[in-house]
Every structure is written in C-alpha cells, then in structure tokens.
A and B are shown apart, each in its own frame.
Chain A
Amino acid sequence: MADAKKMLLKILRYDPEHDSAPHFVPYGVPWDDQTSFLDGLQYLKDNVCPDLSFRSSCRMAICGSCGVMINGVPKLACKTFLRHYPDGANVEPLANFPVERDLVVDLTHFLEYIQALKPYVIGNSRQPKDGPNMQTPEEMSRYHQFALCINCGLCYAACPQFGLNPAFYGPGAITLGHRYNLDSRDHGQADRMRNINSENGVWGCTLVGYCSEVCPKHVDPAAALQQCKVAGALDFASSVLHCKKNKEACHVD
C-alpha cells in the first residue's frame, strides 16, 4: 500500500490532557477503490499516529461503533469509501455529543435514553414450555423496519433538536421504544408512553427528517416518531378521559 496514491484526510484531533480545543490535522492516506474511511483511520493508527482514537469493531456496518462526521455528514466509517471523496475529506467526531478524545464521543445520554425507553418485551408471561410465540407476517411487518437499528447514533448527530436540547430522548431511543410498542408479543406500551409522552419525549421532534436520511440501515426513525406522535396524542386523550374518572391514577401534573 506504500506505493498507492494518497488522499488528504483532515482529522479533528483532541487530547483533553494537552489541547485547549479540537483542531484539524492533515494526513495523507494511501487508498484504492476498496479503502473505507475505517481502513484509512486504521492505517493512520498503525503507521502514522498510534495515539489516534476512534471506535470500531465489526467493519461491516453491523455493530454501529464507527460513526463519524465526514465532510459534516454523519456516516459509518466502515461503510463509506474514500473513492467517493476524490478531493479529500474532513473527519470529525459525531456532532451533538461531547467529545472525549479525537473521534471518540461520550454516548452516555443516548445509552441512558435507550435504557429509559425499555426496548425489550414487557409483560409477556409465556414460558418456554408454551412453545414459540408465533406472529403473522403482518404483525412482524409492523415493527420489522424499526428493529434494524444498530444504535450507531448517526441520527442523534443529524438531529437539530437533540443539538438544541440534549435532554430530548432523540430519534434512536424513541424508535426502539416504538418498535416494541408495535410488537404483538409486548404489553409494555403504557409503561413506555410515560417517557415518550413526557416533555423531553417524542414532542421535541419537529419532523426535520434528516435522521432518516443519514440512517445507514434505512430504519426511518422520522416515520417511527410520527407514528409515536399519533399514539401519544391518543394516549393523551385517553388519559384525560381516565383522569376524570380516577384522578389518583393520573400522572398529568
């Protein structure tokens, strides 16, 4: 690869122990038509700057670890190829998240929101002896698209509302919660709706739609959030009716 042509990558470097602010550093990276940005970053770490920090694991767009901003657009480094950037590119950490070091961001918010939205089957008392919990193809098709999320966080880097208000649960976590709300095996919708219908829940979304544009798995989180709003509005209406009957059980403040 030493004789290969080189591409200029400007990488936003930041070492909190030495740098007062993140700054771009230019690097020449040898490449051919099959070189991904992750390959380029790994080349730099192996040969040029061993202290370069970035996350990666599977190298095949499944683990969702290697999200970065490439020329200002959230991308998976393993799924994006240098051949599409003949003039070079700027590589930065994911937008809207605090930077820990170089291309590594602090995903704590995102992970806490996923936990809060309880993306797992709730309230299903079936036991293994009951056999498989069958679903019709139609029941599965309601949520299947939303189940393809790999938790890469690109939608958060694309979401201007999460950028304005980091307390917003954001597209990824709400989509995961909604995926289980749509699952016929699940009975936890009422539990999740408390968070989804809260002030930092789905109503922070203004349907910009950029989350769906950047999603590497075509999950279409913007569609999930719109469906969530309809479910949220119905939940609101039913809670108002329920509150009239039983004020103590109501969680409207």
Chain B
Amino acid sequence: MHDDIKRSNEPIFWALFGAGGTFGAVCAPALILSLLILYPYLGEGAEPGVFYRFLDTFIGRLFLAVFVALTAWSGLHRLVHTLHDLKVHWSKLPLVCYGAALLITVLALYGAFACP
C-alpha cells in the first residue's frame, strides 16, 4: 500500500503531450505539404499566396511557434515514456527531455518573432 501519497506533476506534461499530439496530427500534414512541397506552386504570380501572407502576420507567426513548441513537448514526453518502457531508468531523463522541449519552445518563439 502507498502510505506516502505524493501528487504527480505528470498532468502538466500530459496536457502538453495531448495538445502537441492533436495539434501535430491536425496541422503537420497541411504545413508540410504547403510549406515544404507546394510552396513554389501556391503563389499568386510572383507574390506569395494568402496563406503565406497569413503566416507572416502576428497570429501566423504565433501559430508556427506554438506548432513547433507543442509538437516538441509531445515528442519528448513520448521519448521519456518510451525509454521507461525500454527500462532506461535514468533519473535525470525527464529533466533533460523537458529541458530540451523548453529550449525548443524559446527558440521557436524567438525564431518566429525575431525573423524579419
């Protein structure tokens, strides 16, 4: 029996994992298709199309930063649990993975708003 009940901090990471997984599943295929494959073909003449003009707005940049950050939280949270399943019980693993996700979040926000 567990006499010493300590509240888990997992809900924070699970919420970010869930949000990132859902956001990634919904948006990733469209973003990969539009930004990485169809970009040269979706312009309006020599000008970028309406979707690309949207991505250049404040909301568009925030959308891209949140997309990168949440999918990073989702992937790295999954990595923590996968390594646990593979019996890698390194105590600093969550710190490293969630630290990396936090770093990616900062870089994504910086990249989205620092770029001209």
Q: Which residues of A are at the interface with B, using a C-beta cutoff of 8 A? A: 112, 115-116, 160, 164, 167, 194-195, 197-201, 203, 206, 229, 232-233, 235-237, 239, 251-253
Give A196's nearest chain B residue, CB to CB.
B8
A251→B7 CA distance, assembly (Å): 7
Known: A160-B85, A206-B81, A233-B14. A116 touches B1 (CB 8 A): yes
Chain B 1-29 interface 0/1 with A at a Cβ cutoff of 8 Å (1 = within): 11001111011101100000000000000
B-side contacts of A115, CB under 8 Å: 1
Q: Which residues from B are CB-within-8-Å of A232?
A: 11
A253 to B81, CA, bound (A): 23
Q: Which residues of A contact B10 (CB under 8 A)?
A: 199, 203
* Interchain CB contact under 8 A, B2 and A236: no
Is B2's CB under 8 angstroms from A200's CB? yes
Tell me the dominant secondary structure on chain A's binding face.
helix
Assess whether A167 is in contact with B2, with CB atoms less than 8 Å apart: yes
B15 near A233 (CB under 8 angstroms)? yes
Excluding A115-B1, A199-B7, A199-B8, 10 further A-B contacts by CB distance (< 8 Å) are: A198-B2, A198-B7, A199-B6, A199-B10, A203-B8, A232-B11, A233-B14, A236-B7, A236-B12, A251-B7
B52 CB, nearest partner CB in chain A, Å: 36
Contacts between chains A and B (CB distance < 8 A), count? 50
CA–CA, A116 to B87, complex, Å?
27
Give Cα A198 to B1, complex, Å: 13
A179, B84: Cα distance in complex, Å:
29
Least distance between A220 CB and chain B CB atoms (Å): 19
- For this complex, 25 residue pairs linking A to B, each with C-beta atoms less than 8 Å apart, are A115-B1, A160-B85, A164-B85, A167-B2, A194-B7, A195-B2, A195-B5, A197-B7, A197-B8, A198-B7, A198-B8, A199-B6, A199-B7, A199-B8, A201-B8, A203-B14, A206-B85, A229-B11, A229-B14, A232-B11, A233-B14, A233-B15, A236-B7, A252-B7, A253-B6
Beta-carbon nearest neighbor of A165 in chain B: B84
Taken together as a complex, chains A and B put the C-alpha atoms of A72 and B12 apart, in Å, by 36
For B12, list chain A residues within 8 Å (CB).
236
Beta-carbon contact of A198 and B84 below 8 Å: no
B15 smallest CB distance to A (angstroms): 5
Which residues of chain A are near B84, meaning CB under 8 Å? Answer: 164
In the assembled complex, the Cα of A160 lies from the Cα of B85 at a distance in Å of 8
Please determine whether B11 and A203 come into contact, CB atoms closer than 8 angstroms. Answer: yes
